Amino acid sequence: MSFNKLHGLFAAHKPAGITCSQLIGTLKTSLLKDLNASQKLYLPTFVEVKQFGKEAPNDGKETSNENQLWKVEEKKDLRFHPLVAGPYFNRLNVQVVSGGLDKKSSGVLVLSIGRASQYIPAYQNALLPRQYHVNMQLGYATSDYDAEGKVIVKSTYRHISREKFDRVVTGLTKTSRRYNSNYSGLDMQSQEAYDIAVSGKLESVTLFNQPTILTAKCLHFNPPYVSLEMECLNEDNDFIRDTINSLGIKLKSSAVTSRINRTKDGPFTMEHSILRKHWTLANIAQCIKDSKEMVKPFIKRKDMFLDELADEQVKGQPDVQIQ
């Protein structure tokens, strides 16, 4: 793969403690460093013509150049040397495709590079679910619903059993779907709702642009420490923390979120996201190549597909080969 074909979507693992902007900055620095290191030094040449020997004295009379010798040399133009003009590659277009991860959270972060940013709206409008593993702690509540916030409430949790916890967690999905159905203004008992359901478009009507919990289940229960697996749409980390706080209230106790880790974003899973130590040009180029078939059903456009975008050549850019 060459630099001219370095366009596509891929997933990176975002560690906790950094923002998405900081991740993109680190990623760009690593890619630009590899690009400039792989670029073979090419300098344009120019022809220099100069007189061989001393110039004849000018006495006001016309002299003939027939007997004069000229030296013609082809030299490299050092004005374009990286030590003079700077590195050839100095910018890259890397954008977040599917956000929702703040500084405290971690997990799969889908990014676009190059001209593949034009597929961001199509990917976002595909209503792809995202899966999270959420660690929570029972017994107290904070001002921002996060474990590191200021404690405002303390409560008991000894009365919470696994059966009761599972029952309340199951109710989260029903409550979320009922709220979104009411918000959409669609009467679920009407003929219109029936026709939309038959056509298979009910989910896109009732869940569009509203945070929704599709599934939720308990992975580990050892009070006060509990872990959940949640599959959501249109959510962000504030919505998840607010949900955990509401869950604690429904359990007649209180709860805070201690960790949020995204394990899946549409077709991308933890296996597809590359770690910080693997943010190199060769690895990212391979990830883009491997992800083409995964994202193709979700980013189709009438005028261009991802394969055609990758096969296009960018005028004015060197064809740097990526090993």
Residue of 53, 59, 223 lying closest to 155 (CA atoms): 223
CA–CA dist 79, 76 (Å, integer): 9
Which residues touch 18 (CB under 8 Å, ≥6 apart)?
A: 26, 103
Say if CB 101 and CB 264 are below 8 A apart: no
CB 215 within 8 A of CB 166: no
Backbone angles phi, psi at 286, to 5 degrees: -70, -40
In angstroms, what CA-CA distances link 301 with 4, 10, 114, 312? 21, 19, 17, 16
| Distance (Å, whole) CA 231 – CA 216 | 6
- CB-based contacts of 78: which residues, under 8 Å, 6+ apart? 43, 84
Burial category of 50 from C-beta neighbours within 10 Å (exposed 0-12, middle 13-18, buried 19 and up): exposed
Residue pair 143/245 in contact by the 8 Å Cβ criterion: no
From 59, 102, 166, 265, the catalytic residue: 102
Looking at the chain, list the stretches that DSSP marks H as alpha helix, in order from N- to C-terminal side: 20-38, 82-85, 120-124, 162-183, 191-199, 202-206, 237-250, 281-295, 306-311
Closest CA to 170 of 221, 217, 207, 136: 217
Half-sphere exposure of 165 (CA within 13 A, CB side): 25
Other Cβ atoms closer than 10 A to 175: 13
Look up 102 and say whether it is catalytic. Answer: yes
Locate 306 and state its tokens. Answer: 């991802």
Q: Which residues are marked as active site?
A: 102
